[in-house]
């Protein structure tokens, strides 16, 4: 005489738990990719072994043709200081700027930007790409 179980097995799979996990992972990856500061498309960065983990408030790039880009908007050196003061005013006393300067650029342009930052008490991080 065979003994039969009174409980029948339910062979269905609930996808709700799996979709919750996938949704949370999607949100996580979307948030973490927006935290990465992209290098400007106008600049070929120098290579370096050291990478700074500070989070800049503003990204400024100086292209090889001496055009200055702030958040992909072109500016000249004459209008740079008032634009920086206006953009960085809500960030307090010492906001941080990431400066992406082209590797073939003359240092005079970089020093001009650094002097503006010194006068206004901005911190500047020089952008580099990792050594490959």
> Looking at residue 67, which CATH number applies to its domain?
3.30.420.270
Residue 30 lies in a domain: no
Residue 54 lies in a domain: yes
Residue 114 lies in a domain: yes
Mean pLDDT split into 10-residue runs, the chain, 132 residues: 74 82 89 61 63 74 84 86 89 84 81 89 80 68
pLDDT at 93: 80
Cα–Cα nearest to 116, from 127, 124, 107: 124
Residue 67: give the domain boundaries: 47-130
Residue 85 lies in a domain: yes
Element (H, E) at 97: strand 96-101
Number of Cβ within a 10 Å radius of residue 46: 16
pLDDT at 18: 87
Local structure of residue 106 (DSSP, 8 states): -
pLDDT at 34: 58
In the three-class reduction of DSSP (H, G, I as helix; E, B as strand; rest coil), residue 109 is classed as: helix
């Amino acid at each position: 005489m065979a003994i039969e179980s009174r409980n029948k097995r339910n062979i269905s799979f609930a996808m709700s738990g799996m979709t919750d996990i996938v949704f949370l992972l999607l949100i996580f990856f979307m948030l973490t990719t927006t935290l990465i500061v992209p290098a400007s498309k106008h600049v070929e960065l120098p290579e370096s072994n050291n990478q700074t983990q500070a989070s800049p408030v503003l990204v400024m790039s100086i292209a090889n043709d001496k055009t200055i880009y702030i958040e992909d908007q072109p500016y000249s050196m004459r209008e740079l200081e008032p634009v920086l003061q206006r953009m960085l005013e809500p960030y307090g006393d010492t906001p941080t700027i990431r400066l992406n300067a082209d590797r073939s650029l003359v240092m005079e342009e970089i020093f001009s930007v650094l002097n503006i930052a010194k006068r206004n008490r901005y911190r500047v991080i020089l952008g580099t790409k990792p050594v490959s």
